[in-house]
Amino acid sequence: MPISETALLRFLSSVHPYDSLEPALLKELAPKFRQIDATAGNPVYALNQELDGLYLVHTGEVEVTDENGIPVSILGPRNSFGERGLTRGGRAVTSARTTTETILLLLPKADFHTLMASQPKVAKFFDRRRPGSRDTTSLATTRVETIMARDPITCSSGLTCQGAAQLMRDRRISSICVTDGDRLQGILTTRDLTAKILAAGKPISTPVSTVMTPDPLTLAPSAIGSDVLHMMMEHGIGHIPVVEAGRLAGIVTQTDLTRFQAVSSGEMVSSIARAGSAEEMAKVTAEIPRLLVQLVAGGNRHEVVTRLITDIADTATRRLLALAEEQLGAPPVPYLWLACGSQGRREQTGVSDQDNCLILSGDLKPEDNAYFEQLAAFVCDGLNTCGYVYCPGDMMASNPRWRQPLSVWRDYFRDWIAKPSPEAQMLASVMFDLRPIGGETALFADLHQKTLKAASANSIFTAHMTANSLKHTPPLGLLRGLATIRSGEHRNTLDMKHNGVVPVADLGRIYALQGQLAEVNTRARLEAAEAAGVLSHSGARDLLDAYDLIAQTRLEHQAAQIRSGQTPDNYLGPSDLSDFERSHLRDAFVVVKTMQSAAGHGKGMLS
């Protein structure tokens, strides 16, 4: 039986975004919807079919399945699907069929696009693209390549200090890069000339090579402006060369920075770098929730927020390592402190425990173990004091298992790859997210590269890792397309960590293994996977958009909790979301589920 005009108007006025339209416009739009009556089991559209327009469920139920026939969502009344998303070039990347007697309303493609073009609120609702930052001039969103001075003034190591000083005077600069060809050897600043030549009474004919800072700290052009600020404040320097593929590309100085744009996180990093104890640092890290609220409120993207918050944890770790060495003395052999988990991926939020380990030099003697046991305890206890609570699974350097010589770490990874037991899969998943924080980074470079190569070459291991990565599934179900936790303390909520960002992080790790990609950050892994051909362009765009929405929703939830005086967590109630937010979040979860299905069937990407 056809739906009457009055009933149709009443229904549309209860569905977002049509409820935002003027009554006259809604009355004009309603007749353009075409009613489709279907019995149970009727196909709505098939995979790769060119879609006719936007579908809206009036009554009944529609099951959406991926390219492998696996259900990814069940849609009920007031849910839209079809032209609004999950398409590639206007063709469906899923299939849909009715599961009960159903009435669908179809808004033809031409009418839908006209509506999108003329009504900004409708366009905003149906546009799943990643929103831009509100402040495009922020250091937190500006790449170093846009800040740096290109073609920096250089000199050879044989130039005299007088010649270098004259060059800096003539060019009105406060530093000069010392190079061999286009390779950076060191940096010389006016402060070096004052302290090491004038104050020391050395002749002005002294070669630059004896005064310069050799192998200075550098950044890549792809780094962000806040990286510059944080590095300067932590290490007390004012000039940072920019190096790409080993070649000098530019330089950034304090005068290149607009400090107020990142003053909050920058001041926190600076205060921690000068702190004399974990207790002093804890007073600074206690402000992280406030920083999170400010960053989210400022319109910063999720990967910027988590990067800035992780920078603080990194600085705290390095400062604790320095304080430990002050107390214990110089280390008997070189070591490297690494972070894994969310800190390793630079994805810390307002809720973070600590996950870390120590790689020790092969020159380690049995009597040296006591030193590193004390160092690990000092740093892990200090991090706990700072609010980075002890890892529940004891994945910390204070555990002797995760404080071993390089040879033992090689054996760990070799055994995990050769014998991928459930425990090995779990440990490998954690340890493939390792990132050096402080110490001798050379201890990790060779290990990382060789492990990636060995892992990607072992099809059995990668298959087990892929299967393990699919254990965390998006929360898709019958209730408006979202499945909530059924019992316990967090009943009727969505776990935005384990069922939200973790499934995407797991996929990113698998793509990194398949492509032998060195990136650790999830978003960087997805982008690198696309560039390497591990992930198709359309698949990468879909997954990146989905991940951005899920991760941003999680951060906004935590910020809202902090503003209301609560302790932030990862459990979001669907009722706290608008129809707009629920609908888009459901679409994002469908994309993740579809990509998981593709990975589980050995396809690795959407073609």
| Per-residue pLDDT reduced to its tens digit, 542-592 | 999 999 999 999 999 998 898 888 999 999 999 888 888 888 899 899 999
What is the pLDDT at residue 133? 43
In a domain, 241, yes or no: no
Residue 69: Cβ-neighbour burial (10 angstroms; 0-12, 13-18, 19+): exposed
DSSP 162-201: HHHHHHHHHHT-SEEEEEETTEEEEEEEHHHHIIIIITTT
CA angle 157, 158, 164 (to 5 degrees): 75
In a domain, 17, yes or no: yes
Rounded Cα distance, 270 and 236, in Å: 9
Rounded Cα distance, 499 and 570, in Å: 10
Q: What is the number of residues in the chain?
A: 607
- The residue from 77, 97, 126 where one domain ends is 126
In a domain, 85, yes or no: yes
Rounded Cα distance, 177 and 216, in Å: 10
| Mean pLDDT calculated for residue range 146-155 | 86
Q: How confident is the model at residue 412 (pLDDT cuts 50, 70, 90)?
A: very high
Rounded Cα distance, 312 and 305, in Å: 11
Top-confidence residue, 213 or 265: 213
| Mean pLDDT calculated for residue range 354-373 | 96
Beta strands at 34-38 and 91-92: parallel, antiparallel or unpaired: unpaired
Longest CA–CA span in the chain (Å) reads 100
What is the pLDDT at residue 127? 63
Rounded Cα distance, 323 and 267, in Å: 20
| Mean pLDDT calculated for residue range 531-546 | 91
Handedness of CA 319, 283, 233, 194 (dihedral sign): negative
Please determine, for residue 593, whether its predicted confidence score (pLDDT) is greater than 50: yes
**What's the whole-model pTM score?**
0.69
Top-confidence residue, 140 or 348: 348
Q: How confident is the model at residue 71 (pLDDT cuts 50, 70, 90)?
A: low
Q: Where are the alpha helices (DSSP H) in 422-501?
A: 422-431, 442-457, 459-469
Beta strands at 213-214 and 335-339: parallel, antiparallel or unpaired: unpaired
Top-confidence residue, 470 or 336: 336
Rounded Cα distance, 60 and 204, in Å: 87
Q: How confident is the model at residue 17 (pLDDT cuts 50, 70, 90)?
A: confident
Cβ atoms of 529 and 510 closer than 8 Å: no
What is the pLDDT at residue 264? 64
What is the pLDDT at residue 148? 85
Please determine, for residue 88, whether its predicted confidence score (pLDDT) is greater than 80: no
What is the pLDDT at residue 165? 95
Which CATH number fits the domain that encloses residue 525?
1.20.120
Residue 130: Cβ-neighbour burial (10 angstroms; 0-12, 13-18, 19+): middle
Residue 127 in tokens: 């546009």
| Mean pLDDT calculated for residue range 299-310 | 88
What is the pLDDT at residue 304? 86
Choose among 148, 193, 150: nearest CA to 174.
193
Choose among 70, 83, 82, 75: nearest CA to 102.
75
Please determine, for residue 606, whether its predicted confidence score (pLDDT) is greater than 50: no
Element (H, E) at 74: strand 71-75
- The residue from 92, 126, 160 where one domain ends is 126
466-491 burial by CB neighbour count: b if 16+ within 10 A, else e?
Answer: bebbbebebbbeeebbbbbeeeeebe
In a domain, 217, yes or no: no
Q: What strands lie across the sheet with 102-108, from one edge to the other?
A: 34-38, 102-108, 53-59, 80-82
What is the pLDDT at residue 130? 46
What is the pLDDT at residue 245? 83
Domain extent for 495: 470-600
What is the pLDDT at residue 319? 96
Count of Cβ atoms closer than 10 Å to residue 279 Cβ: 11
Return the bridge partners of 194, or none: none
In a domain, 521, yes or no: yes
Rounded Cα distance, 487 and 530, in Å: 39
In a domain, 411, yes or no: no
Q: How confident is the model at residue 257 (pLDDT cuts 50, 70, 90)?
A: low
394's CB contacts (< 8 A; 6+ apart) are none
- The residue from 83, 110, 126 where one domain ends is 126
Of 37-41, 218-222, 467-471, 545-549, the one with minimum mean pLDDT is 467-471
At which residue do the structure tokens 């972070």 appear? Answer: 339
What is the pLDDT at residue 387? 95
Residue 575 in tokens: 């009722």
Cβ atoms of 462 and 513 closer than 8 Å: yes
In a domain, 25, yes or no: yes
Q: What are the Cα distances from residue 255, in Å, to 28, 121, 249, 251, 505?
A: 58, 42, 18, 11, 38
Residue 292 in tokens: 């999170």
Number of domains in the chain: 2
Rounded Cα distance, 264 and 268, in Å: 6
Tell how far CA 536 is from the center of its chain: 20
Q: What are the Cα distances from residue 532, in Å, to 245, 461, 516, 518, 527?
A: 18, 21, 9, 12, 9
In a domain, 567, yes or no: yes
Residue 163: Cβ-neighbour burial (10 angstroms; 0-12, 13-18, 19+): middle
